[in-house]
């Protein structure tokens, strides 16, 4: 979010400074790991669909500007292998809501049963006979590190300044100015936009420290055993089972790497920036393979090629927060994104820049207001 916003503000001629405690793109937050799924029909809700569509357009515009491949349109397959329609928050509802939104917005897609999934995508041969699938040919994945680097490069070319290796400790507002207290220096600005991810709660305090949870996710690359099952047109995928821990997502093999990346979606265990375990143990990798990979995908070995850890910063309703800070004037908070933000980030950066420069944005961000949480009183 920070890189996208910096770029879009610089594009509009705003004098803008970006501050990061690391040197982006980096692997310390939520925007690393080579790939991120993108799709237009977003099962999380209708408010996200225009953002996803616009973001894909911006990625293509950036590709033309930078000559970097950012968006791989290999399609995306969303499916569930368990049907328990009685529960309102069940995985089948996510797949069905994705289908409903695709129909509502006229997004090209196919609805598949288990036989059709296996026929078109034989790498998913082990899936349950009850599987319901949604395939969107316009989806695929973006390369997050490249996207961040492209936006930061363009931002600098357009006049933005980036300070890295600087930890922001506090924010204050006084006389219409925002004071940013850093570990190495202090900064002053008319406006501040905070895209701090899992550091949002400790930096911003109430109400964010009572709203946000940090959930650790594994990113594992398993050795490819049967390359023929994963041709060049293989889709990105999201798989849901019956329970909260029975979900994963993954990607087709990147040419030359000989592995398939698969990641967890777990919300049962909390962590924090200071206590996040950044190592994936062999036991955890094997448990994930047995529980999530083997029942759903063929042609992979339980051999870890590499691994990484990322953090989801999650709100109570798993939605975004994009709003003014309730007690700090001229401070906009853009976090958390609950583990599904990167696909939208380019469009959110554009909308924020429009709001700051023009006073309004072409895309509606109202669904992401703090007002929906009782724990966020207005000053």
Among 48, 54, 145, which residue's Cα sits nearest to residue 102? 48
pLDDT-derived band of residue 86, with 50, 70 and 90 as boundaries?
very low
Q: What percent of the chain has pLDDT over 70?
A: 95
pLDDT-derived band of residue 81, with 50, 70 and 90 as boundaries?
confident
How far is it, in rounded angstroms, from Cα 242 to Cα 99? 19
- Which tokens sit at 327? 């007690």
Task: Tell me the mean pLDDT in the region 322-334.
Answer: 97
Task: Tell me the mean pLDDT in the region 86-108.
Answer: 80
Q: Output the pLDDT for position 311.
A: 96
> Is 84's pLDDT higher than 70?
no
Distances (CA, A) of 318 to 89, 213, 256, 336: 12, 10, 36, 9
Task: Tell me the mean pLDDT in the region 35-62.
Answer: 98
pTM: 0.94
Which of 312 and 82 is assigned the larger pLDDT? Answer: 312
> Is 168's pLDDT higher than 80?
yes
Q: Output the pLDDT for position 299.
A: 98
Q: Output the pLDDT for position 332.
A: 98
> Is 193's pLDDT higher than 50?
yes
Which of 378 and 373 is assigned the larger pLDDT? Answer: 373
- Which tokens sit at 343? 């696909």
Residue 6: which residues within 8 A CB-CB, separation 6 or more? 16, 18, 151, 152, 155, 160, 162, 349
Q: Count other C-beta atoms under 10 Å from residue 365's C-beta.
A: 19
Task: Tell me the mean pLDDT in the region 93-117.
Answer: 96
> Is 7's pLDDT higher than 90?
yes
Q: Output the pLDDT for position 87.
A: 37
When the pLDDT of each residue in the chain is averaged and rounded to a whole number, the result is: 94
How far is it, in rounded angstroms, from Cα 167 to Cα 173? 18
Task: Tell me the mean pLDDT in the region 185-201.
Answer: 97
> Is 67's pLDDT higher than 90?
yes
Domains by residue range for the chain, with CATH: 2-33+144-210+317-372 (3.50.50.60), 77-137+213-314 (3.30.9.10)
Q: Output the pLDDT for position 82.
A: 64
> Is 203's pLDDT higher than 50?
yes
Q: Output the pLDDT for position 125.
A: 96
The pLDDT tens digits for 299-310 are 999 999 999 999
Among 58, 36, 56, 19, which residue's Cα sits nearest to residue 154? 58
> Is 92's pLDDT higher than 70?
no
Q: What angle do CA 59, 223, 250 make, to 5 degrees?
A: 35
- β-pairing, 331-334 with 192-194? parallel
Q: Output the pLDDT for position 379.
A: 40
């Amino acid at each position: 979010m920070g890189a996208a916003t910096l770029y879009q503000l610089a594009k509009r001629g705003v004098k803008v400074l970006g501050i990061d405690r690391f040197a982006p793109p980096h692997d310390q937050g939520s925007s690393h790991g080579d790939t991120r799924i993108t799709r237009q029909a977003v099962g999380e809700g209708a408010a996200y669909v225009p953002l996803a569509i616009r973001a894909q357009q911006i990625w293509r515009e950036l590709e033309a500007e930078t000559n970097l491949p950012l968006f791989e349109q290999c399609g995306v397959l969303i499916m569930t292998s368990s049907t328990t329609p009685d529960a309102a928050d069940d995985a089948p509802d996510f797949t069905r809501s994705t289908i409903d939104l695709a129909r509502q917005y006229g997004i090209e897609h196919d609805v598949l049963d288990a036989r059709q999934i296996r026929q078109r995508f034989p790498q998913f041969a082990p899936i349950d006979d009850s599987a319901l699938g949604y395939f969107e040919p316009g989806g695929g994945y973006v390369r997050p590190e490249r996207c961040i680097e492209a936006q930061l490069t363009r931002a600098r070319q357009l006049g933005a300044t980036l300070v890295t290796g600087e930890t922001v400790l506090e924010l204050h507002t006084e006389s219409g100015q925002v004071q940013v207290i850093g570990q190495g220096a202090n900064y002053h600005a008319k406006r501040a936009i905070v895209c701090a991810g899992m550091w949002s709660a400790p930096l911003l305090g109430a109400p964010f420290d009572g709203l946000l949870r940090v959930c650790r996710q594994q990113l594992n690359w398993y050795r490819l055993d049967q390359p023929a099952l994963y041709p060049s047109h293989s889709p990105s995928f999201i798989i849901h089972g019956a329970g909260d821990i029975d979900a994963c997502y993954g990607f087709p093999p990147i040419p030359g790497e000989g592995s398939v990346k698969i990641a967890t979606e777990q919300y049962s265990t909390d962590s924090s920036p200071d206590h996040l375990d950044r190592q994936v143990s062999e036991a955890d990798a094997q448990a994930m393979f047995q529980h999530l990979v083997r029942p759903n995908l063929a042609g992979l070995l339980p051999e870890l090629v590499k691994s990484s850890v990322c953090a989801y910063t999650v709100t109570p309703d798993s939605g975004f927060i994009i709003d003014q800070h309730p007690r700090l004037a001229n401070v906009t908070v853009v976090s958390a994104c609950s583990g599904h933000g990167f696909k939208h980030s380019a469009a959110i950066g554009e909308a924020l820049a429009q709001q700051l420069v023009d006073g309004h944005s072409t895309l509606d961000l109202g669904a992401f207001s703090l007002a929906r949480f009782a724990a966020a009183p207005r000053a």
